Amino acid sequence: MTYWFIFSDRQLLLASDGGKQSIPLADAMPLPVAEGTIVHDVGTIDGHDCKAYCTTCDDLGGLERCDLRASYFKLDKRMYDKAGAARELVHWDLTSRYCPACGTQTRRTQRIGKVCPACGHELFPSISPAIIVLIERGDAVLMVHARNFRGTFRGLIAGYVEPGESLEDCLRREVMEETGLTIKNVKYFGSQPWPYPSVIMVGFTAEYESGELRLQEEELDAGRFFTIDTLPELPQKLSLARRLIDWWIGKQGKTAKQE
Ligand SMILES: [Zn+2]
């Protein structure tokens, strides 16, 4: 049997059995594939092939739409991660049907590659790198609220890498632009695919070096250094931001009280 990662209106479709939700597991494809789109192979889980596609069916045959972020709290981590990979491939397929150089319909030439038959332009999934950094100052940590956050929680300084930048250049530029601070002792922490729609988040820790905190108002509407006893609402567990913050909380000899 195959695990079917199906997307409808950008949302993941889940089977529901007595309140427990799961990725549909079946021999046959549960719903028709949207015209002109591809069924993608996304590896295996527990010996079952995993396939991903999008559908335009109105009748979902009993499957339920679920926002990919929300699916983190309904699926186990392996299924959520696979759903993220599936979402990135489906997004790439939908946005690469026509050549961006000349407008001709593209042709698939390999598992994740297409070519324009008219001008030869090749298309592969493009993944945007972004940095995120936890900045410590003494016994406090910088947490901010960006205007584009979906909620009232406080997160970390983050931003997209620009052409020609190293991750370290990007980090220093983003921190300076958004806070006016310089940082030192930058250390790599870890990375995480962020399929909203196709980002790889690269996490770092750093220490405050100099400068007066001055928030960039176009991007941030709140932010300051917080000590362990004054922590604000934290980001949800699915994010690398939260992993960084939980690491910092652990370093203070505590565990996060929030879910
Ligand atoms: Zn072309």
CATH of the domain at 132: 3.90.79.10
Within a domain: residue 212?
yes
d(CA 202, CA 199): 9
Distance from residue 98's CA to the centre of ligand 1 (Å)? 8
Q: What pLDDT score was predicted for residue 254? A: 81
Q: Are residues 140 and 86 in the same domain?
A: no
Does 38 have pLDDT greater than 90? yes
Q: Are residues 138 and 247 in the same domain?
A: yes
Please give the sequence-ordered ranges of beta strands (E in DSSP) within 161-249, or none if there are none. 182-194, 199-210, 220-227
Within a domain: residue 122?
no
- Which of 95, 120, 143 is the last residue before a domain boundary? 95
In the chain, the N- to C-terminal Cα span, in Å, equals 35
Within a domain: residue 38?
yes
d(CA 51, CA 202): 27
Burial status of residue 189 (CB atoms within 10 A of its CB: 0-12, 13-18, 19 or more): middle
Distance from residue 107's CA to the centre of ligand 1 (Å)? 11
Give the pLDDT band (50/70/90) at residue 253: confident
Beta bridge partners of 14: 64
Q: For residue range 70-88, what is the model confidence (pLDDT) as tens digits? A: 999 999 999 999 999 999 9
Q: Are residues 49 and 138 in the same domain?
A: no
Give the pLDDT band (50/70/90) at residue 99: very high
Within a domain: residue 115?
no
Q: Are residues 55 and 159 in the same domain?
A: no
Domain of 178? 128-251
Q: Are residues 191 and 78 in the same domain?
A: no
Within a domain: residue 172?
yes
Distance from residue 89's CA to the centre of ligand 1 (Å)? 21
Distance from residue 203's CA to the centre of ligand 1 (Å)? 36
Does 199 have pLDDT greater than 80? yes
Does 258 have pLDDT greater than 80? no
Give the pLDDT band (50/70/90) at residue 148: confident
Tell me the average pLDDT across 196-216.
96
d(CA 192, CA 195): 9
Within a domain: residue 154?
yes
Distance from residue 222's CA to the centre of ligand 1 (Å)? 45
Q: What pLDDT score was predicted for residue 186? A: 96
Q: What pLDDT score was predicted for residue 157? A: 96
Q: Are residues 243 and 148 in the same domain?
A: yes
Q: Are residues 91 and 137 in the same domain?
A: no
Q: What pLDDT score was predicted for residue 150? A: 85
Distance from residue 95's CA to the centre of ligand 1 (Å)? 14
The whole-chain average pLDDT of the chain stands at: 95
Question: Structural domain tally of the chain?
Answer: 2
